[in-house]
Chains A and B, each alone.
Chain A
Amino acid sequence: MDLILPLPNQEALDSLARRQVMPTRLTTAELRALDASLRSRSFFSAQTMLEDLLDGYKDKITTIINPQQISRPDRVTAENPEGSVNVGLNDAYAREQIKDLLRESGYQPKPDERGTITDLSSDARINLVLQTNKQLAQGEGWWVQGQNAAVLDQWPAQELFRAVDHAKKRDWLDRWRQAGGQTGDPIGTGWTITPDLRMIALKNHDIWNWIGSSELFDDALDVLWPPFAFNSGMDVRDVDRSQAEAIGLMDKGDAAPEPMNIVDALKAFTEKISALAA
């Protein structure tokens, strides 16, 4: 194992760059009524009209997901002969800088909202915006990176799993059943629940269009990748061909899912959601 020059997480950075800052007075519920493709192209936070604040968030998240590496003589050790040091922001310093930005802009929360999720300067609100947007960029990056014919051939399926434990857990197994029901495919055809309750589906199957769809779930983020919903704690992991065959999602020799590009995937997603909403 060697340390060499770092590589930027280009797909995650592209995801952030693609999203244009959109100041809005709309609430979360009102935002859901907007076209899914507009939301997927926008960087926003409910009832946030401060463009500088949204720009600030975007900058901080870019720095968090793409820390830089520098060399410093005072950090040279036997294990680190180049004295490599990572510099950038972590969530705590990003949160502090967002609070500074809000102070400078003269922002004051309404007295009865202080400290709540609607207070733009509260830890809860800032953590939610930072975490959600960071994970969305990383989730999209992982999705794009997985759209490779050989990777899809070796791991044609993926599992939705709880990556981070939360005190209040939503019933993702029920969501999985509802999302599967929307696809028109019966359980065991493209998507399944194993006897030990693992939620697995072929990659690029229609179920991934529904599990993060706000047409089905109020807290969904309208994406095909984790975190799928606000504060979900959910993620995906690859499932290889032999497992996919063992649980009946594929037969031996079946073709792997076709690779998709991000534009086609989002277009297909929007068409599905629009058709349901119409």
Chain B
Amino acid sequence: MITLTINDQRLRDLGQLAVWVGRGEEVTAVGGRAVAGFLRDYLFDLDAERANRLGGPRTHFYADAARAVQNPQADGNSVVISINHLGLAQRLFGGTITAGHGISSRTGQLTSLLAVPARAEAYGKTPGEFDDLEFVPTRTGGMLVQALQVQIIRGKRKGEWRDETVGALAMYWLVPEVTQAADPTVLPSGRAMAGCAADAMEDYLDRKFKGS
């Protein structure tokens, strides 16, 4: 969840003017709605531009975030907007995610490794949604692979099938931590948002002064 406070000198000046003419609440509501609409459009556009990195079916992460943009709230001369969406803050600010905070769907214990999709089919799904993954340890953690079905050709079990992980497809890499770089482009700049709010507030006040 991200909550943004948009506040610059032009907004403060317009806010003060609005209060002075008895339209403080209305003008703040207009400024907030302007930013919210601008943010929604920005995130819907990002959704159209940015497909899943690994390909595969779209999860429409940014469209989900766009729909989570919510009602602006008046806070003095600033405009406060929340985006109630899981994951957007991590993309915006980046940082290191470490295992040990969530519960593993496999063991029911605290996670010791994080699962990072290795193939398009794994994107937008959890390892728990697959019933054919096998753990293969590696030097840095491990991987979850979709085991191959190999027919036994000798011995007592000849003709039976067994799971073979050598040469199998890795669906997830398992790592103790992941560090993601901050991506400030997942939101428009503070200046652009403030400008958008101020333009709408100015237009509203202008019309009210002119009586149109």
Contact = CB atoms under 8 A, between A and B. Distances in A.
Contact of B2 (A3, A163, A240): A3
A252 B68 CA distance: 34
Interface stretch (B90-98, B133-141, B146-154, B164-172): B90-98
B86 A86 contact: yes
B93 A67 contact: no
B119 interface: no
Contacts of A237: 37, 40-41
Contacts of B44: 163-164, 235
Interface in B16-42: 23, 25-27, 29-30, 33-34, 37, 40-41
Contact of A91 (B4, B48, B59, B63): B59
Interface residues of B, number: 59
Contacts of A65: 68, 84
A154 B4 contact: no
A251 B1 CA distance: 41
B9 interface: no
B93 A253 contact: no
A103 B7 CA distance: 50
B82 A9 contact: yes
Given A80-B95, A145-B70, A154-B33, A7 B82 contact: yes
A76 B93 CA distance: 11
Contacts of B25: 150
Interface in B69-96: 70-71, 73, 80, 82, 84-87, 89-90, 93-96
A241 B212 CA distance: 11
Interface string B117-140: 000000011101100000000000
B95 A75 contact: yes
Nearest to A64: B86
Contacts of B26: 149-150
A154 B200 contact: yes
B113 interface: no
Nearest to A90: B86
B29 A148 contact: yes
A194 to B, nearest CB: 17
Nearest to B60: A164
A77 B30 contact: no
A74 interface: yes
B4 A2 contact: yes
Given A9-B84, A153-B204, A237-B40, A79 B124 contact: no
A141 interface: yes
Interface string A187-219: 000000000000000000000000000000000
Interface residues of A, number: 64
Contact of A150 (B30, B63, B93, B101): B30
B105 to A, nearest CB: 6
Contacts of B89: 84, 86
A253 B200 contact: no
A276 interface: no
A89 B200 contact: no
A6 interface: yes
B194 to A, nearest CB: 9
A4 to B, nearest CB: 5
A241 B128 CA distance: 50
Interface of A: 1-12, 64-69, 72, 74-75, 77, 79-80, 84, 86-93, 95-96, 99-100, 123, 134-135, 138-139, 141-142, 145-146, 148-151, 153-155, 163-165, 235, 237-238, 240-242, 252-253
Going nearest first, the 5 A-B pairs with the smallest beta carbon separation are A150-B26, A145-B71, A1-B190, A6-B1, A7-B82
Interface of B: 1-7, 23, 25-27, 29-30, 33-34, 37, 40-41, 44, 47-48, 59-60, 63-64, 66-68, 70-71, 73, 80, 82, 84-87, 89-90, 93-96, 98, 101, 105, 124-126, 128-129, 182, 190, 193, 200, 203-204, 207, 212
